[in-house]
Structure formats: structure tokens, C-alpha cells
Structure 1
């Protein structure tokens, strides 16, 4: 049985089918590590580092990440419901943390006020996610469902929303210069202008 110890460093290791529900971990560094079919739901990672790591088919729902650093991390087919990413450590000199989420469930997450330029969200379910006051410029948010997600004073310049649906973005409250939208879904942007659309 693989174990994760506080204060240790793990490099180029693969962790498979670990079940560490509600576990508490402190000061651990992971670099170039792969996590497959692991259950970290409710886990508490404090002052840890995940650098160039990959998560596949993992459950990370309600994970807590106080002062934990994420750089160059990709998540594929993972469940990340209710994660408050604002508690993590995001160095001001890294505008692009190279985070990638593909076919993930990110419902009820918070990215409030974060600068995560060039963020990748692909085929993700993003219901009731808080993107307010963040800078996500030059990101790719394609084929996603943004039902009830919140955008306000958000920098969405040059964001690619192609094939994404159910977003509610007020064009007067957000920066959307050079953003890309699918033609039909772009009509929803007009609702914030208090105008009447006719056929």
C-alpha cells in the first residue's frame, strides 16, 4: 500500500487507487507525479506543492488546499466539486499557472479574484462556479456547461468559449474584448443590454 508522509518529496512517482478520504497532509512536494483512480475527497493539503503533476480519474471533491501551490497540473476526468481554489498559493509573478481541466466536474468551485491566465477548461461541467473579479484572459473554455456560474468584473479578453453553453455574462460588467463565442450562444450576451430580440 502506497503511503504519503508529511514533509516528504515525491518525484516521478505514480500513485494508483489511493483512498485517502478526509486525510490531512502538510508540507509535501510532488513533482512530475501521476495520480490515477485516487480518492482524495475531503482531503486537506496544507502548504504542499504540486508541480507538473497529472490527475486522471480522481475524486478531489471538497478538497481543501490552504497555501498549497499548483503549477503545470492537469486534471482529466476528475471530480472536483466544491473546491475553493482561492485558498491556494498563487505567486503573483506566475500569471499563467498552466492549469488544465479536461472532462472534469467543477461544480460549486470558487476562482474568485484569481489571476489564472491561459487556463484550460475543456468539456467540463462548471455549474455555479464563481469567476468574479478574476483574470482569465487568453484562456480556453471550450465545450463547457456554465449553468448558474457567475462572471462579474471578470477579465475574459481573448477567451475561447467555442461550443460552450449556458453562460450568463454581462457585457457591461466584464471585459470580453476579442473573446470567441459560438454564433448561437453569443445571442445570450445581448440579454444584458436590455434590448428586445425579434425573429
Structure 2
């Protein structure tokens, strides 16, 4: 099945399709399923994805100028190098409720976005820009946060259980009510110029 611009796709299933480097404009996807699709390098401009699911898809390097994602789920998918800040994020819509499970999102940019209650579970989150991001009440469980950036990030009540390899300065971020596994919580002390003795 091809995707055409200026269209509406309701409860459509796209399976084993190759949309690499395609450009789609002004299109609505509502309650659609993308299964094992290749969307690498595609450009979705002024599109809306509402309650869509992506299963084992490759969305690496997609471009999303002024596109909106609401209540979408990504499972077992690759989403490397995406600049999420280019999408449309309504100022008063604090709950886009994105969910990523067993995904690779390395090299992506979430700078200053409001991502309250976002779920990241068992994800590779290397080299991600979370600076100035609102992640209140989000879940970031069993993730690898190697080289990801946190600065002036609101991490209030975030669940980091099982997550590792993070560098989060407790003086530069808001961590009230955040939950960490006991051993990984020691990483929060490394930036305080203190000595840990066994």
C-alpha cells in the first residue's frame, strides 16, 4: 500500500512496506498499524499520527516538520537520529503520551519538549538531548542512557528503575520523587566531588 499526501488513513494496517525517503504532507493517520515497515529518511510534513502503533519498524532519520504524534506506541523499533523538536507540540497539550518499548532512539533530540508521562521501557537512549525537557511522571525503566544530556530537566516522579549509565547532576536537574534502583542511584553522587568508600 502506498501513502499519499493530503489523505486520511483510519485504522489502516501497513505491513512489510518500504517507504524509505518518501515525502508525505498534510496527512492524517488515526489508529493505524505499521508492522515491519522501513520508513528510513522519510519526511512527514504537517501530518498527524493519532493512536498509531509501530512494531519492528525502522524510522531512523525521519523528518517530522510540524507533524504531531498523540498517544502513539513504538515497539521493537529503530528511531535513530530524529529531531523531535521539529514536530508540532501544542503549548497546552502536556500529555502526548508517547510509549517506546525495546526501541533504539540513540542520537535523537528532545530538547525543551513537554513529554509528561512518556514511557521508555528497555530502550537504548545513547547520546540523547534531554536538556530543559519536561519529563514529569514519565517511566524510563531498564534503559541505557550512555552519554545522554540532562540539564535543567524536570524529572519529578520519574521511574528510573533498572536504568543505568546515566550522568544526571542533582544540582542542575529537578529530581523530586524520582525512583532509582539502589545500586544505580550511586551514579548520582559522582558529580558532587566526594569520595565513596567501600
Asked if TM exceeds 0.5, the reply is: yes
Deviation for aligned residue 1:157: 0.5
> Conserved in 2, the CA contact under 8 Å of 1:82 and 1:107?
yes
**Residues 47-86 of structure 1 correspond to what in structure 2 (within 5 A)?**
47-86=46-85
* Residue aligning to 1:134: 133
Give the SS at the match of 1:167: coil
* Residue aligning to 1:37: 36
* Residue aligning to 2:106: 107
Deviation for aligned residue 1:91: 0.7
* Residue aligning to 1:46: 45
* Residue aligning to 1:158: 157
Inter-partner Cα distance in structure 2 for 1:22 and 1:90: 24
> Conserved in 2, the CA contact under 8 Å of 1:172 and 1:192?
no
- Across the aligned residues of Structure 1 and Structure 2, the Cα RMSD in angstroms comes to 0.5
* Residue aligning to 1:123: 122
Inter-partner Cα distance in structure 2 for 1:171 and 1:16: 44
Q: Which runs of 4+ in 1 moved over 4 A?
A: none
Please, what TM-score do these two structures have when normalized by structure 1? 0.99
Deviation for aligned residue 1:96: 1.0
* Residue aligning to 1:193: 192
> Conserved in 2, the CA contact under 8 Å of 1:121 and 1:140?
yes
Inter-partner Cα distance in structure 2 for 1:169 and 1:194: 14
Deviation for aligned residue 1:78: 0.2
Q: What is the CA deviation profile of residues 94-129 of structure 1, one whole-angstrom value per residue up to 9, with x for unaligned ones?
A: 101010000000000000000010000000000001
Give the SS at the match of 1:191: helix
| 2:87 is equivalent to residue 88 of structure 1 | yes
Q: Point out where structure 2 has 5 or more consecutive residues left out of the alignment.
A: none
Please, what TM-score do these two structures have when normalized by structure 2? 0.99
Q: What is the CA deviation profile of residues 17-45 of structure 1, one whole-angstrom value per residue up to 9, with x for unaligned ones?
A: 11011111100100010000000000000
The number of equivalent residue pairs is 198
> Conserved in 2, the CA contact under 8 Å of 1:73 and 1:100?
yes
Inter-partner Cα distance in structure 1 for 2:157 and 2:191: 20
